[in-house]
Copies of this chain bind each other. A is one copy, B any other.
Amino acid sequence: MELLQSKIEKDGVVISEDILNVDGIIHHMVDPALMEAVGEDIAAHFADRGITKVVTVESSGISPAIMAAKSLKVPMVILKKEPSKILHADLIQTMVTSYTKEMSYELTLAHRFIQPEDHVLIVDDFLSNGETATAAIRLLRHCHATIAGVAVLIEKTFQPGREKLEDSGVEVYALTRIKKLTGDQILFEKD
């Protein structure tokens, strides 16, 4: 997506060869018009697939996810990051270890918000190693929902997230694809 890529070229900050700071785009300051365009792009890609819910992970995924949900005219469900096991009959959890952030948490879903007949589109900010997306898929499949695909704003193609997801039969749609972070340069894949 041209608009998002030029914004990343302008405001993205390379922290290391693994980490891109997008505070001014997604994480800390957000342009709602850009997010609306992002949501429309995602919705257009997944139109006519019978999607019943958009699922995201707090908190950076919420802005693009609610815009995608608005375009698809379906509810958004936010998976919560909880520090530790919560004992509650309705909650299901799965451990996620983020290598990028060097931390673990319990991705949490209240069972009642996902039904077996749901066909779910997962929307998130980054796809790197795919830990978050695969954890989300575990929770959703535990509820017997089916997965329409994973849409991300930024894919790091030098990390194995896409391969992992596609190997498990899940379609990946990335609005921008970065092949290398080097010095202060962001190199995108050519279409």
Please give the residue numbers on chain A whose beta carbons come within 8 Å of chain B beta carbons, in ascending order: 23-24, 27-33, 35-36, 58-59, 62-63, 66-67, 69-70, 73, 75-78, 80, 110, 113
Cβ 8 A contact of A29, one of B30, B32, B70, B75 = B75
Chain B residues, CB < 8 A from A24: 113
A69-B35 Cα distance, complex, nearest whole Å: 11
Task: Note all chain B residues with C-beta closer than 8 A to A31.
Answer: 75
Complex copy number for this chain: 2
When distances are taken between beta carbons in the complex, the residues of chain B under 8 Å from A80 are 28
B77 touches A28 (CB 8 A): yes
Q: Is the CB of B28 within 8 A of A78?
A: yes
Q: Is the CB of A70 within 8 A of B110?
A: no
Q: Is the CB of B70 within 8 A of A32?
A: yes
Contacts of A27 in B (CB 8 A): 78
